[in-house]
Amino acid sequence: SRFETCWPALMKDSHGVIIIFNPELPSHLREIEMWYSCFVQQQPLLDSQCLLVAHHKPGSAGDTENLSLAYPLNKLKLIHSNLEEDPEDVRMEFIKYFRSIITIINESREREEMSIIS
């Protein structure tokens, strides 16, 4: 894509990656593998630092709720967002995700401090 030259700057010191896609578009399903490869695997981040969000537009088919993604995407946390029906659910999932990222950051900071001390 034309923004690829900006990716290193976007990735620098990032602690988490959220990939939002439209599950009804086959092209999106192919692209999320590329995003995952570039932004998660090559950094490298843990799978727990990545969140997939299948965003359902208002009035969309909805039969994509039981979306089964292929390896390695099937190892990632996947949430379905439908802001018409259940915005609160999505909010709670985001809060859980951010809490987990903060925990990972704090743990790595503690490890760094211990390695400096010892």
pLDDT along the chain (118 residues), means of 10: 77 91 89 92 92 87 71 93 84 95 94 90
Quote the pLDDT of residue 62: 56
Residue 21's pLDDT is 94
**Rounded to 5°, angle at Cα 88 from 75 and 79:** 15
The pLDDT assigned to 65 comes to 64
Residue 56: predicted pLDDT: 87
Opening angle at CA 76, ends 61 and 37, nearest 5: 100
Q: What is the pLDDT of residue 57?
A: 83
What is the pTM assigned to this prediction?
0.83
Q: What is the pLDDT of residue 5?
A: 82
pLDDT of the residue at 6: 84
CA distance 72 to 47: 9
